[in-house]
Structure 1
Amino acid sequence: MDHKPVSVLFVCLGNICRSPMAEAVMRHLIEERGLAGSIKVDSAGTGDWHVGHPPHKGTRQLLEREGIRADGLIARQLRRGDLETFDYLVCMDDSNVSGVLVAAAKHGLSASGKVFKLTDLVPDKGVDGVPDPYYTGNFDEVYELVRAGCERLLERIVSESR
């Protein structure tokens, strides 16, 4: 993978629970596999309620428990440039997919082919979307889905880059 880095943007509602968790997990997996510099990872929310805040305490505690760094994670909202530049726009649920597609249409852009749900990569988990722990409180369930999805996404990126 010696060309332009592949870029992945994880998207959830407020960018404080699910998408920053996915960003941190993906960064961790990329480092473990010696692929730093080959894949760029970021996260954003479709809403603006938490812009400028660090990840939710539950996300930070879970990442710390798993030995995954969360430094540098600050909530931000999805921007037009994200829709233009990221190769993968990986959403946590159907609502986030809709939010990304509406934002793209609003800017006259097509996000076709690069927007999908993280759980689309893990059909064996039997869930349609990553539940929002902001409401459920179940950060462990979210981590299991995010970890499995990120592992499959990394496999996909590596195989597509060959």
Structure 2
Amino acid sequence: MPELPPPRDQRRSYRIATVCLGNICRSPMAEVVLSAALEDAGLDDRVEVDSSGTGGWHTGEPMDDRAAETLGAHGYDPSRHRAQQFDTSWFDEYDLILTMDHANDRDVRALAPSDGDAQRVQMFRAYDPEASASDDEVPDPWYGGQDGFERVLAMVERTTKALVDALDARV
């Protein structure tokens, strides 16, 4: 498991961004699950979470219906999400940027203003105890059926548990 980057500013909450391609499936699912887990752990006053996509096609739109239905069926509230696009300003605002796949990771790192900013970017599943070097991405469920969203949720929940444990020790 990687080490969490230090906070950019000790006077504010630790800020995490999750990033996927369009910000309508994977990264908002991770945002919702991580936010709920932080609240359950009593860390929501010290850690904030947001999400974005590397592309702007869905900016302003709600979460994909299948992603929202999957979250809702498992007791999460997906209703507040509106898609937004990642840009270089996020590097100034976030302490940790978690990408869902290697393409997202490359795209985000390419925008990093400095090497220090790029070091704040990590793969989301780097915190997944079941991930391996050959299986470290959160697959995009958009082109598949409902089972893909269930699989993504299981990965996100498992990874979130380990991430919250790391955050609890850090913040």
Instruction: Please give the TM-score of this superposition, normalised by the length of structure 2.
Output: 0.86
SS at match of 1:143: helix
Amino acid aligned to 1:150: T
Residue ranges of structure 1 left out of the alignment (5+ in a row): none
SS at match of 1:124: coil
Matched, 1:25 2:30: no
Q: Does structure 2 retain, via aligned residues, the 8 Å contact 1:7–1:41? A: yes
Deviation at 1:122, TM superposition (A): 1.4
Aligned equivalents of 1:37, 1:151: Cα separation in 2: 18
Q: Does structure 2 retain, via aligned residues, the 8 Å contact 1:20–1:73? A: yes
Number of residues of Structure 1 aligned to a counterpart in Structure 2: 157
* Segments ≥4 residues shifted beyond 3 Å: none
Equivalent residue, structure 2, for 1:85: 93
- Structure with the largest fraction of helix: 1
Matched, 1:148 2:158: yes
Matched, 1:115 2:125: no
Amino acid aligned to 1:19: S
Please give the residue correspondences for 1:1-162 in structure 2 after superposition, counting only pairs within 5 Å. Answer: 3-104=11-112, 108-110=113-115, 111-126=117-132, 127-137=135-145, 138-161=148-171
Deviation at 1:123, TM superposition (A): 4.4
User: Which digits, 9 at most, give the CA deviation of each residue in 1:57-105, with x for residues without a partner?
Assistant: 111001100111113210000022211220110000000100101111x
Deviation at 1:152, TM superposition (A): 1.2
Deviation at 1:15, TM superposition (A): 0.2
Q: Does structure 2 retain, via aligned residues, the 8 Å contact 1:83–1:109? A: no
Aligned equivalents of 1:112, 1:49: Cα separation in 2: 24
User: Which digits, 9 at most, give the CA deviation of each residue in 1:90-128, with x for residues without a partner?
Assistant: 000000100101111xxx333232111111111424422
Change (3 A) 1:79 1:43: same
Aligned equivalents of 1:9, 1:82: Cα separation in 2: 8
Deviation at 1:130, TM superposition (A): 0.3
User: Which digits, 9 at most, give the CA deviation of each residue in 1:4-24, with x for residues without a partner?
Assistant: 211100000000000000000
Aligned equivalents of 1:49, 1:140: Cα separation in 2: 24
**Over aligned residues, Cα RMSD in angstroms?**
1.5
Instruction: Please give the TM-score of this superposition, normalised by the length of structure 1.
Output: 0.91
